[in-house]
Structure 1
Amino acid sequence: MIEMVIDQRRRSLGGFEVGRVLPFAKRRMVGPFIFFDHMGPVEFAPGIPNDVDVRPHPHIGLSTITYLFDGEIMHRDSVGSEQPILPGEVNWMTAGRGITHSERFERARREGGRMDGIQAWVALPDGREETDPSFAHHEGHDLPAFEEDGLAGRLIAGEVLGLKASVKTDSPLFYLHWQLQPGARASLPPEYAERAIYVARGAIRLGGERIECGSMAVLTPGETADITAEESAIVMALGGEPVGPRFIDWNFVSSSRERIEEAKADWRAGRMKLPDLDDEEWIPLPPDPVPPANPMS
């Protein structure tokens, strides 16, 4: 039932920590999901400095999904969007041939408060990598939901369990938010080639193995996954059909290494439009890593 377990690797973004799960050295992707970060949880004090914000930065070749359990993030992008991201809502940004955006903690700066959520990236399939950039916002009541026997679920995107979300996607996938009371059970059918379950809070039992908060279980293909909550838990289930190998470099994803180098050059030269309502600062392109010295030279 479990192919491998990936434990998050904690890293600081300056004002708070994230737990990086994907990409992982032994598992780069799950279906089209190529990046998976658990943001927080963190308690912000009022008056947090501006450098906690994620300043404008670019993407190509992917869609980003920011999904919050707690807190608020203000999203602004280069197609003119300005949207507060709230818990239980879907904010699906498609970069395609190129988009820039910022993520700012303006409410937390005013009021303080808890922030906890997931940012995932979905690689766009062949033929869709250079699509026009776009942004879509879906409030919680717009998402398929169910509740029974201590289990509540919300389908963020795609199709699974006989449900279909209205969020537009570019390849077959699913992304599901479960909340389980202690002892509650849930099952994930084997209808996609690649699937995984991430425990965002609490702990579950899966195939006889305890999966703790901050761990992702990549599931064996072709088998139903039955989980039981050992304590109150939040679980994200995700997966889909593979889109093929992808290169990832900083914020860029592509099937072509040359396309990534082109995007890096465009950002370095200022050729990518900044967000309409947030164009006074940006994150510079990180320097390329220095290759190790050749010990034989």
Structure 2
Amino acid sequence: MVELVINQRQHSIGAFEVGRVLPFRQRRMVGPFIFFDRMGPQELAGPVGRHADVRPHPHIGISTVTYLFEGSITHRDSLGVEQDITPGALNWMTAGSGISHSERFDPIRQQGGRMDGIQAWVALPDNKEEQAPAFVHYSSQSLPLIHEAGLQGRLIAGSALGLTSPVHVDSPLFYIELRAQAGHSVPLPGGHEERAIYICSGGLEVAGQRYEAGQMLVFARGDAPRIVALLDSHLMLLGGEPVGPRHIWWNFVSSRKERIEQAKDDWQNGRIALPPQDDQEFIPLPQN
């Protein structure tokens, strides 16, 4: 059964609007997933001004997971990585003890275009929160494909549906993009304590109840409901094992409040480096 329905809320990140799903006041996390934003769909008219970019900003205690359906963005980080991301590819950045990065619309700067995708954050387990920061890019060809009757998709990370992704993860989880034809059943992976489905487009029926695009359905533990696509539907399936309660303030996530305070001070006083290719501006520490 569906334990909770979370409706995405419009949220501005400067000149770009996102649909925020997690964190939610009644459900902070699903497995280790502590943040889930729908980036679009949105048409950006060219030339795209730099005011629309996400300037350099810091993270600790998480991995950021960027996956696009449409468009392209350029990632730069304090490790010196510069990487364009395109639809179906995956940027997995582990902040660990501290990293900064920017996300800019350089690939579509002149011509503009449609942007759509998901940025998620995965909280690191206690014993890995302070690991060294890292970044890995996975091409769309490297991620396992799902081909079943009425279903097509990609296993982005973790293990599910008899597949295992090559993406390194720090705790048990699954993350899937799935397109289901109308009338077909949608598989919900078992073997994980917490599970959810976000409806990008289309609609689902679970136990006689209908759900629509922009909703995340959080399922009861151990349940194996019959889920049917009412329309051709584009879905994100996610979940995994809980890593324990987390404090979240701005871009900082930690199991310890005092670590959040340290991160604030580190960013305020320049102890988290800026991307060497993008160090002329940054987002200052919020004053609230």
Output aligned runs, 1:112-191, within 5 Å: 112-191=112-191
User: Cα distance, 1:184 vs. partner?
Assistant: 2.4
Compute the RMSD of aligned alpha carbons: 1.0
User: Cα distance, 1:92 vs. partner?
Assistant: 0.4
Residue by residue, what CA displacement relative to the aligned partner does 1:238-294 show, whole Å, maximum 9, x if unpaired? 000000000000000000110010000010111111012111100000012xxxxxx
Contact 2:9 2:19 in 1 (8 A): yes
Q: Which amino acid aligns with 2:62?
A: L
Residue 222 in structure 1 maps to residue 222 in structure 2:
yes
What is the CA–CA distance in structure 2 between the aligned matches of 1:14 and 1:78, rounded to whole Å? 22
Residue 88 in structure 1 maps to residue 110 in structure 2:
no
Give the corresponding residue for 1:258: 258
Give the corresponding residue for 2:245: 245
What is the CA–CA distance in structure 1 between the aligned matches of 2:280 and 2:199, rounded to whole Å? 38
Give the corresponding residue for 2:33: 33
Structure 1 segments unaligned to the other structure (5+ residues)? 289-297
Give the corresponding residue for 1:267: 267
Residue by residue, what CA displacement relative to the aligned partner does 1:82-141 show, whole Å, maximum 9, x if unpaired? 111111111100000000000001122211110000000000001100000000111111
Give the corresponding residue for 1:108: 108
- What SS does the aligned partner of 2:260 have? helix
Residue by residue, what CA displacement relative to the aligned partner does 1:121-178 show, whole Å, maximum 9, x if unpaired? 0000011000000001111111111212221021000011111101000000000110
What is the CA–CA distance in structure 1 between the aligned matches of 2:207 and 2:275, rounded to whole Å? 46
- What SS does the aligned partner of 1:266 have? helix
Residue by residue, what CA displacement relative to the aligned partner does 1:188-246 show, whole Å, maximum 9, x if unpaired? 13311100000011212123221111100000110124322211211000000000000
Q: Which amino acid aligns with 1:195?
A: R
What is the CA–CA distance in structure 2 between the aligned matches of 1:263 and 1:162, rounded to whole Å? 40
Q: Which amino acid aligns with 2:140?
A: G
What is the CA–CA distance in structure 2 between the aligned matches of 1:203 and 1:12, rounded to whole Å? 26
Contact 1:72 1:84 in 2 (8 A): yes
What is the CA–CA distance in structure 2 between the aligned matches of 1:5 and 1:185, rounded to whole Å? 20
Residue by residue, what CA displacement relative to the aligned partner does 1:17-64 show, whole Å, maximum 9, x if unpaired? 101110000100001000001111100111121110000000000000
- What SS does the aligned partner of 1:51 have? helix
Identity of aligned residues (%): 59
Q: Which amino acid aligns with 1:38?
A: R
Contact 2:146 2:155 in 1 (8 A): no
Give the corresponding residue for 2:200: 200
What is the CA–CA distance in structure 2 between the aligned matches of 1:21 and 1:95, rounded to whole Å? 21
How many residue pairs get aligned? The number is 288
Contact 1:187 1:225 in 2 (8 A): no
What is the CA–CA distance in structure 2 between the aligned matches of 1:226 and 1:81, rounded to whole Å? 43
Q: Which amino acid aligns with 2:263?
A: A
Contact 2:64 2:120 in 1 (8 A): yes
Q: TM-score, normalised by structure 2?
A: 0.98
What is the CA–CA distance in structure 2 between the aligned matches of 1:14 and 1:126, rounded to whole Å? 32
Give the corresponding residue for 1:231: 231
- What SS does the aligned partner of 1:267 have? helix
What is the CA–CA distance in structure 1 between the aligned matches of 2:37 and 2:227, rounded to whole Å? 22
Contact 2:84 2:107 in 1 (8 A): no
Q: Which amino acid aligns with 1:85?
A: I
Contact 1:204 1:227 in 2 (8 A): yes
Q: Which amino acid aligns with 1:126?
A: D
- What SS does the aligned partner of 1:137 have? strand
